[in-house]
Amino acid sequence: MRPSSYLKALNPDSDVAQDDNWMLSYIDVFVLITTLFLMLLVMNNASFGTVDAPSEGIQEALATSEVSVMEEQAFVERLIAPKPSQEDTELFSTLQSSIITHGMQSHIQLVQEADRTRLEIQSRVLFNSGDAYLTRSGEALLDKILPILEPTQGIIVIEGHTDNNPIKTKQFPSNWSLAASRATEVLEFFVSEGFDQSRFRAVSYGDTQPIVPNDSSANRRSNRRVSLVIEQAL
- Which CATH number is 220's domain given? 3.30.1330.60
Last residue of a domain, one of 80, 106, 137: 80
Give the range of the structural domain holding residue 59, as residue numbers without chain letter: 3-80
Model confidence band, residue 27 (pLDDT cutoffs 50, 70, 90): low
CA dist 17 and 5 (Å) reads 10
User: Of 157, 95, 163, 92, which Cα lies nearest the Cα of 123?
Assistant: 163
The whole-number pLDDT of residue 6 equals 46
Q: Is the pLDDT of residue 153 over 70?
A: yes
- Exposure class string for 104-127: b at 16+ Cβ within 10 A, else e: beebbbbeeeeebbbbbbbbebbb
Domain identity same for 157 and 125: yes
CB 179 within 8 A of CB 206: yes
Biggest distance spanned by C-alpha atoms of the chain = 142
Give the chain's domain count: 2
Last residue of a domain, one of 27, 54, 80: 80
Q: How many CB atoms lie within 10 A of CB 144?
A: 15
Q: What is the pLDDT of residues 175-192, one digit of tens each?
A: 999 999 999 999 999 999
CB 170 within 8 A of CB 220: no
All residues at 6 or more sequence positions from 152 whose CB lies less than 8 Å from its CB, including other chains:
91, 230
Domain identity same for 159 and 213: yes
Model confidence band, residue 66 (pLDDT cutoffs 50, 70, 90): low
Model confidence band, residue 97 (pLDDT cutoffs 50, 70, 90): confident
Q: Which of 77-86, 121-130, 139-148, 184-193 has the lowest mean pLDDT?
A: 77-86
Q: How many CB atoms lie within 10 A of CB 90?
A: 11
Q: What is the mean pLDDT of residues 91-96?
A: 84
CA dist 26 and 5 (Å) reads 20
Domain identity same for 194 and 217: yes
CA dist 153 and 138 (Å) reads 24
Q: Is the pLDDT of residue 42 over 60?
A: yes
Last residue of a domain, one of 80, 97, 118: 80
Domain identity same for 59 and 127: no
The whole-number pLDDT of residue 60 equals 58
Domain identity same for 115 and 226: yes
CB 210 within 8 A of CB 223: yes
Domain identity same for 180 and 222: yes
